[in-house]
Structure 1
Amino acid sequence: MGKTYDGLHRISFLINEQGVIEHVFNKFKTKDHHDVVLNYFKQQA
């Protein structure tokens, strides 16, 4: 039909206390999202 489809884009934002976006998570699968976020926090410590 001439249309292209790019699929679903899942994106999560980590927002700090001041309301500023601190990090964008865009490469994850739904079942692994919590691991991606926890690993980010472990790397920051």
Structure 2
Amino acid sequence: LSDENHETLKVYGVWGKKKFMGREYMGISRTTFVIDENGIIERVYEKVSVKSHAQDILSDLKH
């Protein structure tokens, strides 16, 4: 997905101010949306851990 103007990011509420080492900047909040075949958001994972996130999703989808 290419979103150069951050339009989709803004609609999903994942584009905004962030802070790192005292510096403030605009960036993406690491978030995953599970969307069903009808376009309905079934689950939202916020502030995900890169190390375990894929396994977390697979585990949740199996249940």
Question: TM-score with structure 2 length normalisation?
Answer: 0.49
Unmatched runs of 5 consecutive residues or more in structure 2: 1-17, 21-27
Greater relative CO, 1 or 2 (CA 8 Å, sep 6+): 1
Q: Provide Cα deviations, 1:1-41, integer angstroms capped at 9, x if missing partner.
A: xxx827x6310000000001010011421121111101211
Task: Return the alpha-carbon distance in structure 1 between the equivalents of residues 55 and 48 of structure 2.
Answer: 9
Q: Which has the higher helix share?
A: 1
Residue type of the partner of 1:9? S
Quote the RMSD (CA, aligned, Å).
Answer: 2.4
Unmatched runs of 5 consecutive residues or more in structure 1: none
Contact 1:12–1:24 under 8 Å retained in 2: yes
Q: Does residue 41 of the first structure (1) align with residue 61 of the second (2)?
A: yes
Q: Does residue 26 of the first structure (1) align with residue 29 of the second (2)?
A: no
Structure 1 residue ranges, 4+ long, deviating more than 2 angstroms after superposition = none
* Number of residue-to-residue matches in the alignment: 40
2:32 aligns with: 12
